[in-house]
Amino acid sequence: MIEIKSIYKSFEDKNVLEDISFTFENGKTNLIIGQSGSGKTVLMKCLVGLLAPNKGEVLYDGRNFLTMDKKEKKSLRREMGMIFQSAALFDSLTVLENVMFPLDMFSNKNYNERVKRAQFCLDRVNLLDAQKKYPGEISGGMQKRVAIARAIALQPQYLFCDEPNSGLDPKTSLVIDELVHDITTEYNMTTIINTHDMNSVLGIGDSILYIYQGHKEWEGNKDQVFSATNERLNNFIFASDLLRKVKTEEASKVK
Ligand SMILES: Nc1ncnc2c1ncn2[C@@H]1O[C@H](COP(=O)(O)OP(=O)(O)OP(=O)(O)O)[C@@H](O)[C@H]1O
């Protein structure tokens, strides 16, 4: 579980995050949603320590991240896995070597154990057959699955995904969403996903934080989205006529 308490962040005189409090629960896919420029990335950067908030607390299972010394922070970072917008794989390394990379850097396992662990993770994302290929030889969706395998190689307790579906078609996005959701439940991780993808919101939104112009506008889950009366949220989520129709149909089922 990651708790944030009254987070503020500004750049010079521009306030980007204002008084954001939220609890990201473990075993759940926690989504941060909001319009472009609303502050999602800045918030995620504050969570992982790439930016320092001006005020507030970030608690990793009760451990205060912002007041930790360097050594404690370094050790906590090993409990974090990250998946970036681009899969960010190393082109000159094979798929297996990419997944082994964090193990080579941070684990005490011997070579054979590292290979075994990397192969286990590749098998988990259904890509063991591609282990000898290079990133340039596999599809974008497969690259994202390699990135997931690499992110879970060190068995993180906390998984951060920044727009994991960017550049993927809807069907492949669904596969990635389901995979991240299943892994989160299976390993009881605290997973936080920044997304614009409405299919993700309605599909894997176990817990949702909606940010509007740097403040928390709404929180809830995918089922509550349909009955939400928050106008800004509705304008954001149900921007398309098709989704508005789905919402009306779902709401009439509840009555
Ligand atoms: N290092 C920085 N210095 C100054 N302003 C910044 C910096 N980083 C972000 N911002 C500003 O903070 C605001 C929020 O940006 P952020 O990247 O968090 O938005 P976002 O919600 O992630 O958008 P998107 O969905 O487009 O990625 C923007 O106005 C951005 O210009």
What is the crossing angle of helices 111-124 and 140-152, to 10°?
A: 130
| Per-residue model confidence as pLDDT tens digits over 133-154 | 999 999 888 898 899 899 899 8
Nearest CA to ligand 1 atom 18: 39
Three-class SS of residue 90? coil
pLDDT of residue 107: 86
Q: How many angstroms separate the CA atoms of 45 and 43, rounded? A: 5
Distance CA 243, CA 249 (A): 10
| pLDDT value of position 113 | 94
Query: Minimal CA–CA distance to 157: which of 194, 201, 189, 200?
Result: 189
Task: Find the 37 Cα to ligand 1 centroid distance in Å.
Answer: 5
**Looking at ligand 1, which residue's alpha carbon is closest to its atom 25?**
36
Residue 250 alpha carbon to ligand 1 centre in Å: 34
In the chain the beta strands, taken as DSSP E runs, fall at 2-11, 14-24, 28-33, 55-60, 63-64, 80-83, 158-162, 190-195, 207-212, 215-220
Inter-CA distances, 65 with 61, 75, 77, 106, Å? 10, 11, 10, 20
> 3-class DSSP state for residue 248?
helix
Q: Quick: pLDDT tens for 4-20.
A: 999 999 998 899 999 99
- pLDDT value at residue 101: 93
What per-residue confidence (pLDDT) applies to 237? 85
Q: Which of 40, 195, 198 to mutate to test the pocket of ligand 1 (most atoms within 8 A of CB)?
A: 40
| pLDDT tens-digit readout, 217-253 | 999 999 998 888 999 998 888 776 666 676 677 767 6
Residues with beta carbon inside 6 Å of ligand 1?
Answer: 11, 16, 34, 36-42, 196
- Kind and range of the H or E element at 173? helix 170-186
Distance 118 CA to ligand 1 centre (A): 34
Q: How far, in Å, CA of 79 to CA of 105, rounded?
A: 14
Q: Which atom of ligand 1 is nearest to the CA of 211?
A: 21
pLDDT at 168: 80
Q: What residues of the chain score a pLDDT lower than 50?
A: none
pTM to 2 decimals?
0.89
Contact indicator for 215, 232 with CB cutoff of 8 Å: no
Q: What type of residue is 128? A: L
Residue type, position 191, single letter: T
In order of their start, the domains of the chain are 1-79+159-216 (3.40.50.300), 89-155 (no CATH)
